[in-house]
Amino acid sequence: MITAIVLVRAATDRIPETAQGIADIPGVAEVYSCAGDVDLIAVVRVSEHAELAELIPGAIGKVEGVLDTDTHIAFRSYAKRDTDTAFDIGVN
């Protein structure tokens, strides 16, 4: 599974509608509204790199209200739950 984090600048007056439009796209796992340099962060999960080319410019980039995207491809996850599971020996 390939995970990409897509930073989205959106038209201020359309952020909720833009976020929902992005969230409705197959392959988009989560969309967050946030403060800072970007308006939305979308987490995309696909099985092949070629799907990113279709999904990001071909679908996310065409959602009404999207002004710009910046995509970051994740190499490895370091989530706390992954670390906890790795050291879990089943002791309560």
Q: Can you give the pLDDT at residue 82?
A: 59
In the beta sheet, which residues pair with residue 30? 43
- Cα Dmax for the chain: 51
> What is the per-residue pLDDT across 6-63, written as a single tens digit (0 to 9) for each?
999 999 999 999 999 999 999 999 999 999 999 999 999 999 999 999 999 999 999 9
Place of tokens 């994740």: 74
Q: What's the pLDDT score for residue 89?
A: 62
* Helix, strand, or coil (residue 89): coil
pLDDT digits (tens, 9 = 90+) for 59-85: 999 999 999 999 999 998 887 765 565
Q: pTM (2 decimals)?
A: 0.83
Contacts of 20 (CB under 8 A, 6+ apart): 31
The domain 2-76 is placed in CATH, from the list 3.40.50.620, 3.30.70.920, 2.40.128.120, 1.10.10.10, at 3.30.70.920
How many angstroms separate the CA atoms of 83 and 65, rounded? 38
- Which residue ranges make up each domain of the chain? 2-76
Q: Where are the alpha helices (DSSP H) in 1-92?
A: 15-23, 49-55, 80-86
* Contact indicator for 10, 60 with CB cutoff of 8 Å: no
